[in-house]
Structure 1
Amino acid sequence: MDFDLSWVLWGLPIAFVLGWLASRLDLRQLRIENRLAPKAYFRGLNFLLNEQQDQAIDAFIEAVQNDPDTSELHFALGNLFRRRGEYERAVRVHEHLLSRGDLSRAERHRAQHALALDFLKAGLLDRAEEALRKLEGTAYESQALLALLSIYERTRDWSNASVTARKLDASGHGNFNGRLAHYLCEQASSAAPEEAVELLREAMTIAPDVARPRMDLAALQRRAGESALAFETLADLAQSVPASIPLVARPLTDAALASAQSDKATQILLASYELSPSIDVLEGIVALEPDPAIARNWYVKHLEREPSLVAATRWLAGEKLEDETTHASVQNALEHAVKPLRRYRCAACGFEAKQHFWQCPGCQAWDSYPARRVEEL
């Protein structure tokens, strides 16, 4: 059978024409699509770059209406609503995404995480907790656990906080032993004495370098009339965590006086003072000194070593000037001046307080208060 070349001659031009028509149709479709969503989308990005959030929201809404199946536009719109504080609108956007059946598994998890953030920012902690728990086993699990930990701390749910901290620690997302020790101490504060002791000893085992468990245990022992045991607990803390001695000085002194162990307590405080002078340690030494004259002279020695308005005020309180009225006026002025110097200051946010906090009331950071007062920083 002979092959007819005429068919090839006719076929080549026809194929060329068909290919040209197909390319023109594709270009036309592309231009139509570019005229619809991207114009509004890029306009919205331009508004965002110029910090014009109201106009950006309007542009994104227009883009979503032109292409309702585009999930990225929904995420951008929801995040914008959340940043503006319009949490209800953000929730509606993310809930609409979750209701779609064509959403991929990864995008569904992303939408669930965004919804949890909406609830969290809105202060709806119970709904945020429910949404975050659904992220277990997803790529957002670590972020969800950290958010849950923050919720449990804010609501003082120390039991769930302990469970969550253990999960984070086990998954390798940091060392949470210090926080876990504080959670156990918080639980111990409202537990029966026997259970409280067990919780505090567990905290001591988990975080031996945290001062709070031993200090709380010593306070518990003092309330039970076991001053000797309380002293031994605090002496052990002073040896294992020397940086905590300024915090321990006052309760150590009280326990020593109650259990007739003043000499041993004085040795501990003197050794600490020689290494690093501290007002609180100095106060402990003075309280244990039986001779009033020697006790007052300790303030003079401290002033020779460290300039301290607090120490000067303490020394002046034990002295008597010829004019008692002038003495009282000077003393009152100094007492007023040193009040800010006796405070503790958070190293994370600078929040100052009269007492030492384990968790900063300002920024909620744990162990951010140094053991030393403002004057000594």
Structure 2
Amino acid sequence: MDFDLSWVLWGLPIAFVLGWLASRLDLRQLRIENRQAPKAYFRGLNFLLNEQQDQAIDAFIEAVQKDPDTSELHFALGNLFRRRGEYERAVRVHEHLLSRADLSKAERQRAQHALALDFLKAGLLDRAEDALRKLEGTPYEGQALLALLAIYERTRDWPHASETASKLDASGQGNFSGRQAHYLCEQAANAQPAEAEALLRRAMQMAPEAARPGIELAALQRRAGDARAAFNTLIEHAEAAPAAIPLLAKPLTDAAQASGEQEKAREVLHQSYELSPSLDVLEGIVALEPDPEQARAWYVKHLEREPSLVAAAKWLSGEKLEHEQFHKQVQGALDHATKPLTRYRCAACGFEAKQHFWQCPGCQAWDSYPARRVEEL
């Protein structure tokens, strides 16, 4: 049977027409989807600018459904979920991004960082730690190390915190020697006396200007019954860290009285007071003054240099009043008024406390409490 070529001649134009119609339909559908996706995106952006986060999330979900390959929309949606506290949904978005084979290296690193933040905000510290460690050698390494340091401080994992602080120090992220000295002091608090002393001496070498290592080493020596060694430690530390003398004044006074070194202690405290008057240094001088009248006179000297309600109340407590029968009530009112003035205040968050903290209980900042009381700030 002969093949009829007329069918080929008729078929070619028909196939061409059908192909053209199919391409036009595809292009039309693509244009419709491309118009809808930007509209949903800009609508979501508008909601976001107006702080309508629920509507923004709905709009971005619609945009992602229209164009599932757009990574920027996924990042925006994941960040919105995290800000809303919907950490599980944020994790799903960022894990979906990481599962994509077409993601570029930079976007994969960005998604890994976003996933670590999701875990961190959700309080899943072990998973956050694993995610942050994967960012080593990426542009997010510095941020990851800072986040890891916060995790180790929060979990009181001081050896890992010290290791991470060393990496940050080496990478030029700042000077972490003072913070590393605190980590050694924290480890010393739970160590045996010999090991604790070695840790505290390392801390003093690492941060000579820090007050804490010397104070805690002296306290360790006092507990071991060696008041003279404690006194010598505090004297050496006062020379290395003169700004910390207000914090050293009370333990220095106690150690001096226990070791019979009152004269040397008075000399150090007098020199510090002349350079920078301080209530704590003043109290140390008063406690070491053998003559009670001379001791009380120091409060008047302080008032001549600094207006101080605390010093005035201290002086008045030993003074005879014309109406002595009311002295107790007047003194009680003054003591009540001066209590807030003798607190310490965090310079970072304003949290006030009766005692001095090395790490603020409010904002967790280190060394944010000045050595001076509220009245002196």
TM-score normalised to structure 1 length: 0.90
Offset at 1:307?
1.4
1:3-51 Cα shifts (integer Å, max 9, x gaps) = xxxxxxxxxxxxxxxxxxxxx9998687345313212112111221222
Q: Is the 8 A contact 2:309 2:338 kept in 1?
A: yes
Q: Which residue of 1 aligns with 2:118?
A: 118
Structure 1 residues 210-359: aligned runs within 5 Å: 210-321=210-321, 323-359=323-359
Counterpart CA distance in 1 for 2:306 and 2:345 is 20
1:322-361 Cα shifts (integer Å, max 9, x gaps) = 6444111011101100000000111111111101111111
Q: Is the 8 A contact 2:33 2:66 kept in 1?
A: no
Sequence identity (%):
80
1:105-132 Cα shifts (integer Å, max 9, x gaps) = 2211111111110111111212211211
Counterpart CA distance in 2 for 1:133 and 1:47 is 35
Counterpart CA distance in 1 for 2:35 and 2:93 is 24
Q: Which residue of 2 aligns with 1:10?
A: none
Counterpart CA distance in 2 for 1:219 and 1:91 is 48
Counterpart CA distance in 1 for 2:31 and 2:101 is 29
Offset at 1:240?
1.5
Counterpart CA distance in 2 for 1:25 and 1:169 is 61
Counterpart CA distance in 1 for 2:122 and 2:368 is 27
Q: Which residue of 2 aligns with 1:43?
A: 43
The answer to whether residue 76 in structure 2 is matched with residue 52 in structure 1 is no
Instruction: Classify the secondary structure of the residue corresponding to 1:263.
Output: helix
Instruction: Classify the secondary structure of the residue corresponding to 1:296.
Output: helix
Counterpart CA distance in 2 for 1:302 and 1:52 is 58
The answer to whether residue 118 in structure 2 is matched with residue 138 in structure 1 is no
Counterpart CA distance in 1 for 2:373 and 2:88 is 45
Q: Which residue of 1 aligns with 2:152?
A: 152
1:128-158 Cα shifts (integer Å, max 9, x gaps) = 1121112122221111110010111111111
1:190-248 Cα shifts (integer Å, max 9, x gaps) = 11111111111111111111111111111111111111111111111111211111111
Q: Which residue of 1 aligns with 2:82?
A: 82
Q: Is the 8 A contact 2:117 2:128 kept in 1?
A: yes
- For 2:63, give the aligned amino acid: A
Offset at 1:67?
1.1
Structure 1, unpaired ranges of 5+? 1-23
Offset at 1:162?
0.7
- For 1:231, give the aligned amino acid: F
Counterpart CA distance in 1 for 2:152 and 2:354 is 26
Q: Which residue of 1 aligns with 2:67?
A: 67
TM-score normalised to structure 2 length: 0.90
List structure 1 runs of 4+ shifted beyond 6 angstroms. Answer: 24-27
- For 2:271, give the aligned amino acid: A
Offset at 1:271?
0.7
